[in-house]
Structure 1
Amino acid sequence: MHWKIIITTFITIFLAELGDKTQIASILMSSKTDKPLLVFIGTMLAFALVTILGVTVGTVMARMLPLNYIKTGAAITFIMVGILILFGKI
């Protein structure tokens, strides 16, 4: 097993998700419903599905496109989203 990949992925995703809108939504749902276990289960199922989709799309893209194209596409997408946020379009 490649522990380095697992640990690096865990740390990256953990830090990226801290304080994001998904975590805030989970906090709000838990406080509104007073059912933290059910909110936890729903949140984990949603994260699992989103992660499966992300890994699947990433795997397919990696097989179809050179890594340079994927990196360039990701960079352009992030820049475009940043510009849209800057001008209040998102």
Structure 2
Amino acid sequence: MDWQLLGLTFITVFLAEIGDKSQLAAIALGGSMKSPRAVFFGSVIALILASFLGVLVGGGVAQLFPPRILKAIAALGFAILAVRLLGSRE
């Protein structure tokens, strides 16, 4: 197993998930339901499933396009998100 890749993936996903809508939903459900343990396990399973689907789709897309094209598409997507976030005035 590539421990460096595992650590990088953990840190990236952990930091990306802090304070997002799914965490806020888990906080709200955990505080309002009688079984916070069920909320915890439900949110863990959902995150695992979403990550699994992302890895499967990413692996499939990587078979179709060369890495250079994928990096360009990702960079373009992040640039579009940045412009939209900077342009929003909510």
Answer yes or no: same fold by TM over 0.5: yes
- In structure 2, give the amino acid aligned to 1:42: G
Q: Residue in 1 aligned with 2:38?
A: 38
The one-letter code sitting in structure 1 at the alignment partner of 2:85 is: I
Q: Does 1:66 align with 2:85?
A: no
Alignment partners' CA distance in 2, 1:25 and 1:74? 27
Q: Look up the match of 1:22.
A: 22
Q: 2:54 maps to what in 1?
A: 54
- CA-based RMSD: 1.9
- Deviates further, 80-89 or 7-16: 80-89
Equivalent residues, number? 90
Q: Which runs of 4+ in 1 moved over 6 A?
A: none
Instruction: Note the residue ranges of structure 1 that are not aligned, 5 or more in a row.
Output: none
Q: Deviations over 1:21-78 (max 9, x none)?
A: 2111110111111321110111011111111110001111111111111111111112
Write out per-residue CA displacement over residues 8-30 of structure 1, whole angstroms, 9 at most, x where no aligned residue.
Answer: 11111111211222111110111
Aligned mates of 2:34, 2:83 — CA distance in 1: 39
Gaps of 5+ in 2: none
State yes or no: 1:82 paired with 2:82. Answer: yes
Once residues 78 and 63 of structure 2 are traced to their aligned partners in structure 1, the CA distance between those partners, rounded to angstroms, is: 22
